[in-house]
């Protein structure tokens, strides 16, 4: 039989908190047989569950008591700490994000005693919050908002495509000169095809601008809250006559997870939100040289969608894809990453009546702000 029984009593019975809110309560200890407690530790943090690899972030445990417990003793130790500004709790199809509060009693000459309880961090923010953490900033925080076709990526894409193409051509020449079986040409043909495909996708937008001119796209704001509006504008000043099949903007929210690693990795995706807007007047639109055309739209981010989350390869990813479909010519396509924050709401702190149970106030509250 265990010498010690632990229980966590939170000041908020529903265990629901806002990002940045203070979590407080008591650790209740019931002692059957007297023993020495080497450390009564409290820790808290979040972790992912679902189809992807588990990712977690927790704070180092904090010791709130050291000493001896008497036979039949009952003790209460207060604690408090402040949650960071995210991430919010989430329950999805392939990905879940959950917060837990853990208590551990390290006993001398006996097995440790442990207890934990879940807490729910709401996808809302108090008015005083100034930032929202989309995950663990030390691992994979999504910042910068550079388009997902950077110049460095384009350079390496060109290099890879040219290398594949050159390899295929040289391999084909070698096979023909040495009269190798025609079946062997299949591999070199694959290399040439792969090189051409890579070069096409890397240079597609550059080719499109030969028809579209200095196309300008504005997507703002790139960081916005649920319930706010995302503005999209596309300006096309063609330098020559061009026929547009259509111009569209596609707002997408996805769960992205990866199970395993390397060649054994399995990727999972699940659509959370999908809204494609076809710009009015863009279907089969003929533009003359120098005839500038502007397209505008506003997407409203629903208040019910989950905010962004990034932790390694477990993500709730938001993006906007702009697509200009050109008749008889390579299309212009670019994806803009977004960061969705929780909707604002005033923090509601309900005052609970004081308890009449005797408590141990000799232990100072945890300094959660400094620890997180």
Residue-range domain boundaries for the chain: 4-130+355-371, 151-341
Q: Given this model, what pLDDT does residue 345 score? A: 72
Grouped pLDDT means (10 residues each) for the chain, 372 residues? 87 93 95 94 95 90 94 95 91 95 94 95 77 67 44 51 57 62 62 58 75 93 93 93 96 96 92 96 92 94 92 93 94 94 62 38 36 32
Q: Given this model, what pLDDT does residue 172 score? A: 63
Assigned CATH topology for domain 151-341: Immunoglobulin-like (2.60.40)
What does the buried/exposed string (b/e) look like for 277-308 if buried means 16 or more CB atoms within 10 Å of the residue's CB? bebeebeebebeeeeebebebebebeeebbbb
Q: How many CB atoms lie within 10 A of CB 236?
A: 25
Domain 4-130+355-371 and domain 151-341, same fold? Reply is yes
Q: Given this model, what pLDDT does residue 363 score? A: 38
Instruction: Tell me the pTM.
Output: 0.77
CATH architecture of structural domain 4-130+355-371: Sandwich (2.60)
Q: How far apart are CA 107 and CA 104, in angstroms?
A: 9
């Amino acid at each position: 039989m265990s010498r010690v029984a632990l229980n966590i009593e939170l000041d908020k019975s529903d265990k629901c908190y806002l990002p940045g809110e203070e979590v407080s309560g008591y650790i209740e200890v019931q002692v059957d047989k007297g023993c020495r407690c080497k450390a009564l530790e409290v820790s808290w943090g979040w972790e992912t569950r679902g189809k992807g690899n588990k990712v977690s972030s927790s704070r180092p445990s904090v010791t709130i008591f050291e000493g001896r417990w008497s036979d039949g003793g009952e003790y209460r130790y207060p604690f408090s700490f402040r949650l960071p500004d995210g991430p919010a709790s989430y329950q999805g199809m392939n990905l879940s994000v959950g917060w837990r509060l853990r208590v551990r009693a390290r006993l001398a000459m006996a097995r440790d005693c442990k207890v934990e309880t879940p807490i729910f961090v709401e996808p809302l923010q108090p008015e005083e919050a100034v930032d929202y953490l989309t995950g663990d900033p030390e691992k994979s925080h999504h910042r910068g908002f550079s388009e997902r076709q950077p110049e460095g990526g384009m350079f390496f894409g060109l290099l890879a495509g040219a290398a594949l193409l050159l390899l295929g051509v040289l391999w084909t020449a070698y096979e023909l000169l040495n009269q190798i079986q025609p079946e062997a040409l299949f591999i070199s043909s694959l290399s040439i095809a792969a090189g051409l495909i890579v070069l096409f996708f890397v240079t597609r937008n550059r080719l499109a601008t030969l028809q579209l001119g200095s196309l300008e796209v504005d997507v703002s704001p790139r960081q916005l809250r649920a319930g706010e509006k995302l503005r999209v504008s596309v300006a096309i000043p063609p330098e020559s006559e061009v026929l547009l099949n259509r111009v569209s903007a596609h707002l997408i929210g996805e769960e992205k997870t990866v199970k395993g690693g390397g060649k054994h990795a399995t990727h999972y995706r699940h659509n959370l939100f999908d809204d494609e807007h076809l710009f009015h007047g863009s279907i089969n639109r003929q533009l003359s040289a120098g005839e500038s055309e502007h397209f505008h739209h506003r997407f409203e981010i629903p208040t019910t969608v989950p905010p962004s989350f990034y932790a390694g390869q477990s993500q709730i990813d938001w993006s906007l894809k702009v697509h200009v479909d050109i008749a008889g010519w390579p299309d212009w396509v670019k994806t803009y990453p977004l960061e969705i924050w929780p909707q604002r709401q005033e923090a509601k702190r309900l005052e609970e009546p004081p308890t009449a149970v005797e408590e141990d106030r000799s232990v100072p509250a945890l300094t959660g702000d400094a620890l997180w």
